[in-house]
Amino acid sequence: MIDIDTSETERVRLVSRRTLWKGFVHLEMMTFEQRLRDGSVVTVDREVHDHGSAAAILLHDAADDTVVLVRQFRFGAFANGDPAYMLEIPAGLVDHGEEPADAVVRETMEETGFSIEKARYICEVHASPGALTEKLSLFVATIDAGKKVGLGGGLEGEAEDIEIVTIGLDAAYLLIGTGEITDAKTIIALQWAMLHRAELAAA
């Protein structure tokens, strides 16, 4: 049996990769050899979905302990037969050469109309690492609901139709249990907020 601490380069070797489709997403077939813990070697083919990295942010108003969420149509949920207008924290893809912290400031303005000066980093999340390359950087920022400077609602050129929803933190958290919030990044952000309420209140 091989040592569990053996490096990835010793355990996995990429054999080949080829593009199956390239549009909004890049779908590749990757073939690799993997040395198992018993020392045997297997060859595995996997389709890997790449559409870049993303950033998302929880917007919190400490004055009344509310959070700003967005509701928009999600194609994947629709295709799955699930409720497709999902309640989420603002998020978007990180442009090439852009830092996640800058991307999340841009997305906040586009989706909600709020201008934030500083976003606090929380963590990075792999949404579904068995098939997706996407890595999501999660942030939090304090806002003043009375100082909204833009309309929000998304970019018309990208066919975005975003509803802005302001809701109490407690009420938002309860929506996880009722199944009205099922988006992973939003669940993680709200759970983080519930664990750090004292910090948020003092912001």
Q: Residue 98's pLDDT is what?
A: 95
* Residues 41 and 76 reside in one and the same domain: no
Task: Find, among 42, 19, 16, 43, the residue nearest to 30 by Cα.
Answer: 16
26 pLDDT higher than 60: yes
* Residues 76 and 173 reside in one and the same domain: yes
* Residues 18 and 30 reside in one and the same domain: yes
Residue 162 parent element (H or E): none
Q: What token pair was written down for 161?
A: 């139709």
Distance CA 122, CA 46 (A): 31
Q: What token pair was written down for 43?
A: 């060859």
Q: What is the average per-residue pLDDT within 68-76?
A: 95
Domain range for 103: 54-202
* Residues 94 and 149 reside in one and the same domain: yes
Contact 35, 41 (CB under 8 A): yes
29 pLDDT higher than 70: yes
Q: Provide the whole-model pTM.
A: 0.90
The overall longest dimension of the chain from CA atoms, in Å, is: 62
Q: What is the average per-residue pLDDT within 149-174?
A: 81
Q: Residue 5's pLDDT is what?
A: 59
Say which residue, 20 or 9, is predicted with more confidence.
Answer: 20
Cα–Cα distances in angstroms (integers) from residue 73 to residues 7, 86, 138, in the given order: 42, 6, 21
**Amino acid found at 135:** K
* Percent of the chain whose predicted confidence (pLDDT) is above 70: 92
* Residues 46 and 60 reside in one and the same domain: no
* Residues 66 and 20 reside in one and the same domain: no
Return the bridge partners of 163, or none: 71
Q: Residue 158's pLDDT is what?
A: 61
Could you read off the pLDDT of 42-60 as tens digits, one per residue?
A: 999 999 999 899 999 999 9
* Residues 62 and 19 reside in one and the same domain: no
* Residues 41 and 63 reside in one and the same domain: no
Q: What token pair was written down for 151?
A: 């309309």
* Residues 79 and 128 reside in one and the same domain: yes
Q: State the average pLDDT for the chain.
A: 91
Residue 167's CATH number: 3.90.79.10
